[in-house]
Structure 1
């Protein structure tokens, strides 16, 4: 689907392997593709690390604790967002549900929830949390869910991990009710913090992030599926957290004050440009 034109940047995997990967630019979609792309078991191996915080509930380091604090705050914001949609049956699918906190929050607030999580460790943690709420199974793959349609489908920082992008979007569309709502949150490589840190920007996260999106890319990709972006919202905390990791990758030190400054400037500039570090796209199934 994507025709690569040139190398935009070369980045390093700072989490697992320290291998280098190219980011190839596509001008038609204004997006980047990680190259080479690992597949199958090789791709799965890049997630096997205690440093991959979204698959654990770790609170060991300062960055771990900060992540968990921000996660707690954003869970409330996410719930308020989906509660703002007027749906009759409140059936929700969370793809890439991680350790299950968002699913649990939704379940406790009247939603009928289904989760998908391919990582076994995260899946096990999610099932443990949800077992007290009559949800004993988290699916490993979308194909395991049979004949169910959803009012709302959420992909919180998931789409950038998907190997077969166009096929995946078709599956998601087929599982969404007519006029259903799809929520997609992804990093934005056109943000100030991305442009500032360049190859050290933590949200490139190669090779786990296979795709790197702009607003144009998301709008064009979903337009091809006859779906429409109806609203774009900022994730303002991401600039601070990503800058903190990026400082560590760039200098070997956390540099809290510098990271906070870059994150603050990124959000300040985004007030005008709307290019926040991460963006939430509200997408309707036409």
Structure 2
């Protein structure tokens, strides 16, 4: 990227969201019209502290609550789909980097299927859980020694990174010339996002700093001469996010209504492609 982009310039009011996971604090979610994306303000100086909760499930393998069990069940299904996706690229060297690998389940599946696995995860507890699965994760990208990767994946990670512009540039540098970059992020233009509004679980302030659309991802990555090759839905996300959103909105679980809203979101997305979460497949131009 040539010039420094100020994502916080000329923001327009959008809505106010509550941190339901850790602090109960309120944050503004404002719109950056240039990139058609939303921005969380302010960013806490001690952002790492906002991940320290048993409720932050991607950093644990917990199966205590109903939500935990739903998440873990869906995770097992989606892991198989993710593996099928990366295998479809037909790369011979099979070097993969998973950024924000959590407790290492995806890389474990990759490793068991003959991929050479590398990963990062900033949370120490999550790294320790991954290590018990014989998946060694580094704290951040600066610790990665391998220079180029055939596949780089970020499963619901890009919305968390603080230095967005620099991070995108770094990802491009790590990708081989014919490699694929897989970015999975929530979609704030989905039906479930519009229905639940400030209660939409995928806003997840302040941990989610950015909220992307199908316009913003291609525009952001065009800055490093990358293009979106394909866009795929994550249909299960509509159900899980609706289940959590319903809890935030009403104070209690409502599985029937949550299922209805998730189903409606996926049904409407058949025409609009505005699924609750989307996978972007990117490559170098």
The TM-score, its normalising length taken from structure 2, stands at 0.97
Q: In the alignment, which residue of structure 1 is the partner of 2:41?
A: 35
Quick one: which of 102, 108, 115 aligns to 1:104?
108
Q: Is the 8 A contact 1:4 1:24 kept in 2?
A: no
Q: CA deviation at 1:147?
A: 4.8
Q: In the alignment, which residue of structure 2 is the partner of 1:5?
A: 11
How far apart in 1 are the matches of 2:167 and 2:119? 16
Q: In the alignment, which residue of structure 1 is the partner of 2:69?
A: 65
How far apart in 1 are the matches of 2:70 and 2:55? 14
2:182 counterpart of 1:176: no
Q: Give SS of 2:264's match.
A: helix
Q: In the alignment, which residue of structure 2 is the partner of 1:199?
A: 198
Give the number of aligned pairs: 279
In structure 2, stretches of 5+ residues that fail to align are none
Q: In the alignment, which residue of structure 1 is the partner of 2:271?
A: 272
How far apart in 1 are the matches of 2:140 and 2:269? 36
Q: In the alignment, which residue of structure 2 is the partner of 1:50?
A: 54
Alpha carbon RMSD of aligned pairs, Å?
0.8
Q: CA deviation at 1:38?
A: 1.8
**Correspondences of 1:88-99 after superposition (within 5 Å):** 88-99=92-103
The TM-score, its normalising length taken from structure 1, stands at 0.96
Q: In the alignment, which residue of structure 2 is the partner of 1:16?
A: 22
Q: In the alignment, which residue of structure 2 is the partner of 1:227?
A: 226
How far apart in 2 are the matches of 1:175 and 1:257? 44
Q: Give SS of 2:13's match.
A: strand
Q: In the alignment, which residue of structure 1 is the partner of 2:129?
A: 125
**Correspondences of 1:134-283 after superposition (within 5 Å):** 135=135, 137-283=136-282
Quick one: which of 70, 83, 91 aligns to 1:87?
91
Q: Give SS of 2:133's match.
A: helix
Q: CA deviation at 1:28?
A: 1.3
In structure 1, stretches of 5+ residues that fail to align are none
Quick one: which of 113, 127, 132 aligns to 2:117?
113
The 1:141–1:172 alpha-carbon spacing in structure 2 relative to 1, beyond 3 Å, is same
Q: Is the 8 A contact 1:193 1:239 kept in 2?
A: yes
The C-alpha deviation readout for 1:39-61, integer Å capped at 9, x for no partner, is 3xx10000000000000000000
Q: Give SS of 2:139's match.
A: coil
